[in-house]
Amino acid sequence: NAGVMQNPRHLVRRRGQEARLRCSPMKGHSHVYWYRQLPEEGLKFMVYLQKENIIDESGMPKERFSAEFPKEGPSILRIQQVVRGDSAAYFCASSQAAGGGTEAFFGQGTRLTVV
């Protein structure tokens, strides 16, 4: 049973480009969470999705950021017109039960560098 798979592991984008981060949850998991870890900081919640639905996007910046979890395929976190401040590690987690309070399993993260 493969774990949570994130790709790419490393992504370099120039300012103004788009970044697309992918997350395939563990088999049987229908709840996906995205977190961001800025340098020298802890994990910050961004968005919680179930299949085809955004449940909680209270941690997502209002502009340039979007997330989806289609019926088929991985969850995608999209950052448009990236800026230097978007450079961070982005982690995806999935769980079987509702809510992040139960044990969620994390992917290895995507490290985004904006140059």
Partner 1 sequence: DQQVKQNSPSLSVQEGRISILNCDYTNSMFDYFLWYKKYPAEGPTFLISISSIKDKNEDGRFTVFLNKSAKHLSLHIVPSQPGDSAVYFCAASYNAGNNRKLIWGLGTSLAVNP
The residues binding partner 1 (CB under 8 A) are 4, 6, 33, 35, 41-45, 48, 55-56, 91, 93, 98-109, 111
What's the min distance (Å) between Cβ of 106 and partner 1? 3
Q: What distance in Å separates the CA atoms of residue 10 and residue 6, rounded to the nearest whole number?
A: 10
The answer to whether 90 touches 34, Cβ cutoff 8 Å, is yes
Is 36:44 a contact under the CB 8 Å cutoff? yes
Report the residue number, 48 or 69, with the smaller CB distance to partner 1.
48
Cβ distance to partner 1 smaller for residue 30 or 64: 30
- Sign of torsion over alpha carbons 29, 93, 5, 51: positive
Pick 104 or 112: Cβ nearer partner 1 = 104
* In the complex, least distance from residue 90 CB atom to partner 1, rounded to whole angstroms: 10
104 token code pair: 């969620």
